[in-house]
């Protein structure tokens, strides 16, 4: 079973748009463990080699024929955060897990474990391919720089103020929002995202438990193998058959390792859509924040109009009544004029908020539809591959037991 292959290149084939994948190939070719700091205080980290190979001769004017850059996982995180802030109306492709999730006995929790690092390398490659295949994200200038400029990219990220924008975005998303008029369509999408994440979370938990049980059961068959091999040493007529049976059982015990390694790759694809579900919820949260800004702007205009009417009618506030102050005609006119200007500014703010929300809604709905179409294709392939893998394991078990049966029946 190969890692997430480049056919997910074509994660957005359904969109008839030109993307950079029509002009070049992107891969995360290898990983490397590095160290910083002094001898007494060392900090180990992993870097990943991004390779860009141009396949379109006309495109070589913009990009060199072959470009390579090394990136840390934290830099991939910065790219992801930048895209979230810049394109709040897009279901941003997620990063692979930073630490082991849904682990079980055979899976190491060490983030420097070679198998985990290689799976994360494949996940980071898929992350870049998802971005490159997206009709909007593909041409982002910052993404292009990420693929080509090893030096200066991180500094550019900080200099442009994206770090502060990301921090503000995280704070705003953590605030609970209560809207007066929530959009039913986005409420439905948000609920779907929550349900999808719950379902995938439960599937991944169940899968890790099943994998552990499968692993343990198969490894227990090695005990059979040892016993039959030892038994064969004291038998004359039965010796050969018992020894062969022991070998077959050893083979069965070993066969589960490769199958479960392939299964981990499929589990990673399910995890990707678990993270996609969170991205879908974030998009809905972004919509809520824009809706809230519109409602706040409308409330402000309403309050200013109420205050203007009160001032125009000569009604005074509580403090004025307590201290016996009465506004003169000139003061009232000044206050009304000031409120008129504030109302006018408020109406402009409301109109801008409406336009922004309308534009966001249109773009978000389009991207949600794109995401849903791609999700069906990807999950169909992943779940079908999982079923095929289980069938393969079952066939291997059946074949082994048939061989054992024939072997034992051949005893004279």
Question: Cα(first)–Cα(last) distance of the chain, in Å?
Answer: 42
The token duo for 230 is 């030892």
Distance, in Å, from the CA atom of 93 to the CA atom of 83, rounded to the nearest integer, reads 9
Q: 42-54 and 66-72 as β-strands: parallel, antiparallel, unpaired?
A: antiparallel
| HSE-up of residue 367 (Cα within 13 Å, Cβ side) | 25
Distance, in Å, from the CA atom of 146 to the CA atom of 19, rounded to the nearest integer, reads 16
Third-level CATH fold of 1-175: PX Domain (3.30.1520)
**What count of residues does the chain have?**
412
28: which strand partners? 50
On the 0-12 / 13-18 / 19+ scale of CB atoms within 10 A, 120 is buried
Distance, in Å, from the CA atom of 97 to the CA atom of 299, rounded to the nearest integer, reads 42
Q: Domain coordinates of the chain in residue numbers?
A: 1-175, 179-412
- Specify the pTM: 0.84
Reference 244, options 401, 404, 397, 402; nearest CA is 404
- pLDDT for 148 equals 87
Of 362 and 5, the structure prediction assigns the larger pLDDT to: 362
**pLDDT (tens digit, 9 = 90+) per residue, 346-365?**
999 999 999 999 999 999 99
**Is 233:240 a contact under the CB 8 Å cutoff?**
no
- pLDDT for 70 equals 93
**pLDDT (tens digit, 9 = 90+) per residue, 295-307?**
999 999 999 888 8
Please report, rounded to a whole number, the percentage of residues in the chain having pLDDT higher than 90.
Answer: 51
**pLDDT (tens digit, 9 = 90+) per residue, 304-349?**
888 888 877 765 555 455 555 556 777 778 888 888 898 898 999 9
Q: Average pLDDT, whole number, for the chain?
A: 85
**Three-state secondary structure call for residue 205:** helix
Of 219 and 57, the structure prediction assigns the larger pLDDT to: 219
**Dihedral, CA of residue 368, residue 369, residue 374 and residue 377, to nearest 10:** 130
Third-level CATH fold of 179-412: Substrate Binding Domain Of Dnak; Chain:A; Domain 2 (1.20.1270)
**pLDDT (tens digit, 9 = 90+) per residue, 237-281?**
888 899 999 999 999 899 888 999 999 999 999 999 999 999 999
Distance, in Å, from the CA atom of 411 to the CA atom of 68, rounded to the nearest integer, reads 63
């Amino acid at each position: 079973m190969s890692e997430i292959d480049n056919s997910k290149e074509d994660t957005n084939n359904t969109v008839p748009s030109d993307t950079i994948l029509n002009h070049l190939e992107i891969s995360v070719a290898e990983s490397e463990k590095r160290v910083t700091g002094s001898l007494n205080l060392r900090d180990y980290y992993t870097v990943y080699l991004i390779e860009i190979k141009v396949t379109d001769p006309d495109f070589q004017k913009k990009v060199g024929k072959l470009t390579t850059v090394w990136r840390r996982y934290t830099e991939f995180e910065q790219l992801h955060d930048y895209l979230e802030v810049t394109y709040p109306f897009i279901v941003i492709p997620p990063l692979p897990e930073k630490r082991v999730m849904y682990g079980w006995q055979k899976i190491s929790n060490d983030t420097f474990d070679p198998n985990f690092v290689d799976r994360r390398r494949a996940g980071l490659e898929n992350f870049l391919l998802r971005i490159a295949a997206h009709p909007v994200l593909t041409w982002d200038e910052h993404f292009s720089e990420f693929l080509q400029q090893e030096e200066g990219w991180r500094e550019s990220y900080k200099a442009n103020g994206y770090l502060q924008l990301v921090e503000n975005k995280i704070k705003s998303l953590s605030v609970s929002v209560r809207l007066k008029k929530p959009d039913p369509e986005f409420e439905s999408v948000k609920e779907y995202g929550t349900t999808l994440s719950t379902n995938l979370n439960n599937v991944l938990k169940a899968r890790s438990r099943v994998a552990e049980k499968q692993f343990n059961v198969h490894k227990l068959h090695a005990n059979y193998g040892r016993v039959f091999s030892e038994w064969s040493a004291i038998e004359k007529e039965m010796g050969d058959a018992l020894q062969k049976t022991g070998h077959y059982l050893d083979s069965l015990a070993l066969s589960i390792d490769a199958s479960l390694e392939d299964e981990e790759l499929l589990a990673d694809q399910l995890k990707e859509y678990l993270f996609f579900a969170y991205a879908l919820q974030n998009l809905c949260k972004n919509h809520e924040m824009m809706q809230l800004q519109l409602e706040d702007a409308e409330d402000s205009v309403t309050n200013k109009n109420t205050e203007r009417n009160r001032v125009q009618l000569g009604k005074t506030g509580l403090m004025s009544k307590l201290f016996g102050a009465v506004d003169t005609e000139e003061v009232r006119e000044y206050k009304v004029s000031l409120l008129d200007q504030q109302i006018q500014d408020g109406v402009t703010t409301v109109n801008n908020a409406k336009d922004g929300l309308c534009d966001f809604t249109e773009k978000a709905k389009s991207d949600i539809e794109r995401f849903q179409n791609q999700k069906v294709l990807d999950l169909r392939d992943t779940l079908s591959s999982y079923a095929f893998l289980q069938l393969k394991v079952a066939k291997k078990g059946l074949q082994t037991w048939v061989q054992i049966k024939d072997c034992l029946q051949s005893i004279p």
